[in-house]
Structure formats: C-alpha cells, structure tokens
Chains A and B, each alone.
Chain A
Amino acid sequence: MAGVLEGSAWTLGDHVDTDVIIPARHLLTFDPEKLAPHCFEGVDPTLASQIRPGDIVVAGHNFGCGSSREHAPIAIQALGVSCVIARSFGQIFYRNAFNLGLPLLEADLPPGAVRAGDRLSVDLATGRIENRTTGAAFDAAPIPDFMRELIAAGGLIPFVLGRRA
C-alpha cells in the first residue's frame, strides 16, 4: 500500500454504519464480486455502479460503525476503492480494513474541503492529502506503526504465521 494514490472523491456523511455499507440480506456470500454491486446500498443504491476503481471515499465521523461484518471492507475493496478517509472510524471496521489491506486515513478535514468528484492524491506514507481540483492540501494522522507492519507482512494472517514460525 505504499506510494501515492490518485482518484476521484465520493463524499459521505457521519456514522455510515456497516448495515448501510452492506445489508445482512447479502451476507450469505463473502464473494467480493457478489458483494460489490450492493455496497453502500443503504446510502444510495446507485452508488456502487458509479464508483470507479481507484476512487476514494471521504466520510465524516465514525465511518464503519456497527457490526463486525468483514463483508463491509471486502465490498468496498471489491469496488476498487483505493482508500477511505474519514474523521474517525468504527473500531472493528478499522481493524478489519487493515487486516484485509484496505488503507484508512483519519483526517479532520474542514467542511467543504473535498466535494464529490474532486480529484485527490493521497500519500499513504506521509498522510498528505492534496485536492487537485481546488489546490488545497491537508494532513491526515499518520498510519500507526503497527498497521504498517501488518500491511508490510501482507495482512494479519501472514503476520501471525510468520511470527509463530
């Protein structure tokens, strides 16, 4: 997950919970291809068909709050979303996303800093977020060291298997 990501922004509000990210009726599978079309269905059922690979989701407080379902980050990843920026994250979602290799950045963006469709570039190493459309730049909280270790190991399971060996 090193390097600089670039993509168009999708903006969402506060408390986007895992039930609206992927409702329980779709949880009979964890096949990313099957989950993707239903991603964000509870926010806007047309969103999944509009999001393009590489796009970046920008949300408010408490993104991913609610259930522990890993289907939520799986579905977001399956849409090709390269990273999620939010003011804060639900804690279980936060772990799940990094365990799967979906990077998250915590950033207290001023209101209106990013609008839907803005082109963003995000440097995961430094946490620097640039809005290419407006020219403004912001700093996200750096990704904690432990999360970097996980990503470097290729996810949680390779990390613990490596450690055990």
Chain B
Amino acid sequence: MAGAPAQGGEGGLPRAAGLPVCYASRLGKPRTIGGPPVAMTLTEKILAAHAGRSQVRPKEMISVRVDQSFTDDLGGPITFHVLESHKVEKVFDPERFFVSAMVNTPSKDISAANTVMKMRGFCRRMGIERFFEGGNAGIHNALAIEQGLVLPGEILVGGNSHACTGGGVGAFATGMGSTDIAAILITGRTWLRVPETIRYVYNGELPRWVTGKDLILATIGKFGVDGAQGKAMEFAGEAISALPVEERFALPNMAVEAGATNGIIEPDEKTLAYVGPRARRPFTPVYGDPGAGYAAAHEVDVSRLEPMVAFPHLPSNTRPLSEVREVRVDQVYIGSCTNGWIADMRAAARILKGRKVAEGVRLIVIPSTTGVYRQCLREGIAETVLDAGGIFSTPTCGPCIGAHMGVLGDGMRSVSTSNRNFVGRQGSTRAEVYLVNPHIAAATAVLGRIGSPDEL
C-alpha cells in the first residue's frame, strides 16, 4: 500500500485496544488540549476543526459549522415551509446554500411547476442566488463538486441522502432531512454524532471493466446495507489512488447504501488538480493522522474482482457478472449522481459506438449536470447514443427515482447505473432494478440481456 498512511494501531486495531499514541500529523504538530494529543481520522479532524475544538471522540454529540448546504424539489418545499411557518425572514448565509430543481425537471406536471415557482420565490426573498433549473439544471450532489461548492476539509450537509458524494474530494459530506436543513439555514450549524471510522483499503490492479462502482457494490455486498450504520467509511489504498477522480465518486456516493453517515477519500494530487480550478473559495486540505483509531479496517484485493451486479431489491444483493445467467432487460438507464459524470458518459459511448441497442430495449442516457451535457455534445457522445438508438436527455434525476422519464411498468426490468434498487424505486412495485457500472450497462443495452462488453 505504497504511500498510504499507517492504519489505526497495529493492523488497524481500534483505539480502545490501547492508549492513544502520539504521532506527528502530516500538517504539523498535533494540538494538545490538556492531555496528550490524540491521533484523529480524517473525518474526526474535519469535525473537530468545525466544532472549534482540538479534538473530538467517536460517538460524542457535537455542534459544527456547515460550509455548504443545498436542497432540491423534493426536500426543498418542506424546508421552506418549515422556515415560513416559523416566520424566519433571513437565512444564515445565502452564499452557502443552493437549490436544484432536479427530480421532476423539466417540470413534469402542474404541481412540479408550481413547486419550482414557489422555490424561486423563496430564494429571491432570502437572497439565495444559486438556483439550478432549466438551462443550468443538474443533480445537486454532482453540482456541488462540479461547481466547486464542496472542497477538501469542508463540511457539506445536503438535503439529500447522497450528499455524501462530496466526500470524494476529501470533505465531510452527509445528507439530512428537510427540517435539519431548515435549521442549518437559520444557524449555519448542525449537530452530529461523531462517527467511528471504518477504513476500507483497496489493493491491487483493477481488471478490465471493473470500476469504482464495482468496488462499492462489492463492499456493500460483503458487509450489507447496514454494514457501516452510523459510521464513516474511509476509502483508501493503491486501487483508489489509481482511479481517475470522477470514478472515485461512486464510492462515497453509495456509502449511505451501507448505512454510513459519510464516505470519504483523502485528497491526493489528482483531487487537488480536479478541485483547484473549480473552487469557489479558498480551502485547506485535511489529512488523517497516522495512528488514528479505526472501528475496523478491511482490505480488499481488487485484482480478483469482476464487474458486480446488484440484483433486486437491495444494493447488497450483489453477484459477480460471471455468475449472472440470462437476465433479459426492458430498459437501460445510464446516469444519476452515481454514474452521470463525463467519465461515465465516455465509458458508455466507447461501447455504444458503431453498435445498435437491442430490439425492444429502451436506453436512456442522462448526464448529471449541464456541464457534463455540454461536454457530451462537444465530444459527439450525444450523437453516438442517438445513432445507437438510445435517448439522450438533459439533466434530471427522473428515471433513477421513478419520478418521470422512463418510469417502469409492471414486470419491467431495468439495468441502471444508479445507486438504489428498492422495491418500486423506478416505478411499479412489480418492476425489477439491477445496478451495474456504465460499461456493463452499455453492453447490456446492446445485448438485450445483462452481459459484458467482451461479448460484443
């Protein structure tokens, strides 16, 4: 595990196994608070800094300053209603908040349109200027990163469970409900229970067609949908370092699918090169202390992994692709805040190029933001999808959550690059959703059944 910091204690033993050990932090000397300095994980260090403390301990309740927050057209109306009914006339800092109408966008019906109108009115009154809808639409979890509104060392609390995606740039990022977001809008702070950190170390070289998405699917498959309940999942190791930055985002994105509070990846040079030009404010990357205590540490040899398929109806219901027998599909959806990045669009286009979608399969490709959408147009990706017989849409959550655009009917089967395959997630409670990476999704669209690009 070249270059990675030492794990908690010997072999990642929890801190409770011995007295805290004093190590020099990478950013200088650890600070003391009366006793000996205690090594902290990346997550703990960010939380301590935002609590105005030199140290926090797992399971403590703390109050932290929030650097950035956001909401959308599902949670937003409740947040704004809560504020209005309590006669809140001013938000803490309108610069630190943004809104994206993304689920039912472009407004699928009158009610969705009314929601957007109301949210715009609220934002205007409160001086919130960042509003994404229409010609700048995008999924907030992706926008936060793309727009440089979540930065290494920061705290992002979004009104969406997949706000944890932001951990991919080395931030503490977590999702909360509408009332919690309302409280953040009032005070600029929130309360948290400091999560213990579980460290997942991925070693070895990734085989062909295996991506960041497969690492997280395999991890959830192994540890279950509550395998990291209330914990921080820290992803590390040479396989993570080797991944392009955008391919890493699938890991923290799906941390919530393991029940985690947050997922986080220590920022490296690639991260800083990615984030630097986008950043809307100065930031200081934070790194975990060597010798920090972990609740557990797990190592995964990725060189033996295959592309993973999560069968209905839980993300943990995974099987390696080679064990998947004939599964015919009606719809393939490539997009979402998990796999709607330009890297994912390119991966799909490479496979679709010069090929045709199988008879009877509806392929829907949706970039996660307008920025990605534009890039797809520039690179001819949109045309590749259309030539293959697919649909190429402007950004929306739409099919991911069965809201609109490609809602599944009774008995329909969808293969999806998104993150959840719960009963009824993409439409009918009698439909089925299988989760895969973009390579497998594109190959499946061509084959008409779940399969590998190697079969084309």
- Tell me the bound Cα distance from A41 to B427 in angstroms: 12
Contact indicator B82/A157 (Cβ below 8 Å): yes
Shortest distance between the CB of B195 and any CB in chain A (Å): 9
Contact indicator A42/B401 (Cβ below 8 Å): no
Chain A residues with CB below 8 A from B256, complex form: 66, 92
B81 contacts A by Cβ under 8 Å: yes
If the complex has contacts A23-B402, A29-B111, A68-B159, are A160 and B183 also in contact, measured as CB distance less than 8 A?
A: yes
In chain A, positions 65-93 with a C-beta closer than 8 Å to chain B are 65-71, 74, 88, 90-93
Contact indicator A66/B103 (Cβ below 8 Å): no
Contact indicator A24/B402 (Cβ below 8 Å): yes
In chain A, positions 43-83 with a C-beta closer than 8 Å to chain B are 45, 61-62, 65-71, 74
Shortest distance between the CB of A65 and any CB in chain B (Å): 6
From B61, B179, B186, B423, name the one whose CB has the most chain A CB atoms within 10 angstroms: B179
Contact indicator B403/A88 (Cβ below 8 Å): no
Shortest distance between the CB of A21 and any CB in chain B (Å): 10
Contact indicator B75/A68 (Cβ below 8 Å): yes
A161 contacts B by Cβ under 8 Å: yes
A136 contacts B by Cβ under 8 Å: no
B301 contacts A by Cβ under 8 Å: no
From A45, A68, A91, A93, name the one whose CB has the most chain B CB atoms within 10 angstroms: A68
Shortest distance between the CB of A90 and any CB in chain B (Å): 7
Contact indicator A66/B161 (Cβ below 8 Å): yes
From A17, A19, A90, name the one whose CB has the most chain B CB atoms within 10 angstroms: A19
Contact indicator B424/A68 (Cβ below 8 Å): no
Contact indicator A157/B183 (Cβ below 8 Å): yes
If the complex has contacts A24-B74, A28-B109, are A88 and B186 also in contact, measured as CB distance less than 8 A?
A: no
- The stretch of B170-178, B238-246, B326-334 that contacts the partner chain: B170-178
Please, what's the 1-or-0 string for A22-46, where 1 marks a CB less than 8 Å from any CB in chain B? 0111011110000000000110010
- Tell me the bound Cα distance from A24 to B423 in angstroms: 12
**Interface size class of chain A, counting residues whose CB lies under 8 Å from the partner chain:** 35 or more
Please, what's the 1-or-0 string for B391-415, where 1 marks a CB less than 8 Å from any CB in chain A? 0000000000111000100000000
If the complex has contacts A29-B111, A91-B229, A91-B230, are A62 and B179 also in contact, measured as CB distance less than 8 A?
A: no
B136 contacts A by Cβ under 8 Å: no
- Tell me the bound Cα distance from A164 to B185 in angstroms: 13
**Interface size class of chain B, counting residues whose CB lies under 8 Å from the partner chain:** 35 or more
A156 contacts B by Cβ under 8 Å: yes
Shortest distance between the CB of A88 and any CB in chain B (Å): 6
Contact indicator A69/B177 (Cβ below 8 Å): yes
When C-beta atoms are compared, the residue in chain A nearest to B103 turns out to be: A24
If the complex has contacts A23-B424, A42-B429, A91-B261, are A28 and B111 also in contact, measured as CB distance less than 8 A?
A: yes
Shortest distance between the CB of B1 and any CB in chain A (Å): 30
- Tell me the bound Cα distance from A147 to B176 in angstroms: 16
A20 contacts B by Cβ under 8 Å: yes
In chain B, positions 225-241 with a C-beta closer than 8 Å to chain A are 225-226, 229-230
Contact indicator A19/B176 (Cβ below 8 Å): no
B211 contacts A by Cβ under 8 Å: no
If the complex has contacts A15-B314, A62-B229, A161-B86, are A156 and B180 also in contact, measured as CB distance less than 8 A?
A: yes
In chain B, positions 396-445 with a C-beta closer than 8 Å to chain A are 401-403, 407, 420, 422-425, 427, 429
Contact indicator A100/B424 (Cβ below 8 Å): no
Chain A residues with CB below 8 A from B12, complex form: none
Contact indicator B104/A28 (Cβ below 8 Å): yes
In chain B, positions 102-122 with a C-beta closer than 8 Å to chain A are 103-104, 109, 111-112, 115
CB contact between A30 and one of B78, B103, B226 (< 8 Å): that residue? B78
Contact indicator B81/A30 (Cβ below 8 Å): yes
Contact indicator A156/B259 (Cβ below 8 Å): no
B276 contacts A by Cβ under 8 Å: no
Contact indicator B182/A157 (Cβ below 8 Å): yes
Chain B residues with CB below 8 A from A68, complex form: 75, 159-161, 163, 175-178
B77 contacts A by Cβ under 8 Å: yes
A99 contacts B by Cβ under 8 Å: yes
Contact indicator A156/B160 (Cβ below 8 Å): no
Contact indicator B259/A28 (Cβ below 8 Å): no
B147 contacts A by Cβ under 8 Å: no
B322 contacts A by Cβ under 8 Å: no
Shortest distance between the CB of A25 and any CB in chain B (Å): 6
- Tell me the bound Cα distance from A51 to B161 in angstroms: 28
B191 contacts A by Cβ under 8 Å: yes
A155 contacts B by Cβ under 8 Å: yes
B303 contacts A by Cβ under 8 Å: no
From A67, A71, A161, name the one whose CB has the most chain B CB atoms within 10 angstroms: A67
- Tell me the bound Cα distance from A89 to B289 in angstroms: 31
Contact indicator A15/B420 (Cβ below 8 Å): no
Chain B residues with CB below 8 A from A96, complex form: 176-180
Contact indicator B161/A25 (Cβ below 8 Å): no
If the complex has contacts A19-B424, A92-B161, A164-B187, are A24 and B403 also in contact, measured as CB distance less than 8 A?
A: yes
- Tell me the bound Cα distance from A88 to B104 in angstroms: 32
Contact indicator A160/B161 (Cβ below 8 Å): no
Chain A residues with CB below 8 A from B112, complex form: 28
Chain A residues with CB below 8 A from B182, complex form: 156-157
Chain B residues with CB below 8 A from A23, complex form: 402, 424-425, 429
Contact indicator B424/A41 (Cβ below 8 Å): yes
22 A-B contacts, Cβ less than 8 Å apart?
Answer: A15-B225, A15-B226, A15-B314, A19-B420, A24-B74, A24-B401, A24-B403, A42-B423, A65-B259, A68-B160, A68-B175, A68-B176, A70-B78, A71-B78, A91-B261, A92-B176, A96-B177, A100-B179, A146-B61, A157-B183, A161-B186, A163-B187
By Cβ-Cβ distance, the 7 closest A-B pairs, closest first, are A96-B177, A99-B179, A19-B422, A70-B177, A24-B401, A62-B226, A28-B111
